[in-house]
Amino acid sequence: MRILIVEDEPAIAQFIRQGLTEANYTVDVVGDGRDALDYALATEYDAIALDILLPRLDGLQILQVLRARGNKTPVLLLTARDTVEDRVRGLDHGADDYLVKPFAFAELLARLRALLRRPPLQADAVLRVADLELDPARHEARRGGQRLDLSPREYQLLEFLMRHPDQVLTRTQIIEHLWDLDSYVESNVVDVYIGYLRRKIDRAGNRPLIHTVRGVGYRMSEDADA
């Protein structure tokens, strides 16, 4: 899962970046409102944590432009202002949730997880495809009840595939969700990691769940022909 952090106070930005990276998220950080809008429009993030008071363009203006352009990325507003009026304004501008500074990192993480859950009405946060299960809260994946030993990158790739079941994901989409803008990524890196994942998930005797869509990308599905 790839998260954009928009925060102009370096200490807070660094604190969030470090915590989310440790929790296996891919993170981009920007501290300027105009840059934030450019990043949010150029890249398909899974969620945005957005400070309100920012240089050049404030968080509410950014939110307004994003929503006006049809961008539905979940947005968690971060702010030092804590009045009912501020909260209402934020939600009216299209924010999905609101967190008042100073906050505990665990709360930020819990709220981001809630925003990332799809579909929103799914009560059970555990993702399932056939007998493959992934529990985002515990960072655990199992196939047929057997726990899988995954590297952080393999886990991220599996989570991304499982959050988009029966959809074809292109190599570009996968790279954008798993690697930050500073990484140098070889074009075959997705195929390499899909290979690692297959060796752990689709082992002999298991029905294959990761399907190659020739010339396009990959699809996770119970059904080979979906």
Nearer CB in complex with Ca ion: 8/140: 8
- The residues with which 79 forms a beta bridge, in sequence order, are 100
> Please, which residue, 78 or 127, has the CB nearer to Ca ion?
78
Classify residue 42 by burial, with Cβ atoms within 10 Å: 0-12, 13-18, 19+. Answer: exposed
Task: Please give the Cα distance from 189 to 68 (Å, whole number).
Answer: 35
- Residue 106 φ/ψ, nearest 5 degrees: -60, -35
Q: Which residues bind Ca ion (CB under 5 A)?
A: 8, 51, 53
Nearer to Ca ion, 67 or 101 (CB): 101
Give the shortest CB-54-to-Ca ion separation in angstroms: 6
Cα 149–Cα 173–Cα 208 angle in degrees, nearest 5: 45
Nearer residue to Ca ion within complex by CB, 105 or 179: 105
> What's the min distance (Å) between Cβ of 46 and Ca ion?
23
Distance between CA atoms of 143 and 126, rounded to whole angstroms? 13
Percentages of the chain per state (helix, strand, coil), in multiples of 5? 40, 20, 40
Element spanning 135, H or E = strand 132-135
Work out how close the CB of 69 gets to Ca ion at its nearest, in angstroms, rounded to a whole number: 23
Pick 8 or 97: Cβ nearer Ca ion: 8
Q: Measured from the CB of residue 80, what is the shortest distance to Ca ion in angstroms?
A: 7
107-145 exposure pattern, b = at least 16 Cβ within 10 A, e = fewer:
ebbebbeebbbeeeeeeeeebebbebbbebeeeebebee
Minimum CB separation from Ca ion for residue 145, in Å? Answer: 46
- For the purposes of burial, counting CB atoms within 10 Å of the CB of 104, is it exposed (0-12), middle (13-18) or buried (19 or more)? exposed
Residue number with the smallest Cβ distance to Ca ion: 53
Q: Which is nearer to Ca ion, 51 or 176 (CB)?
A: 51
Report, in Å, the least distance between residue 114 CB and Ca ion: 23
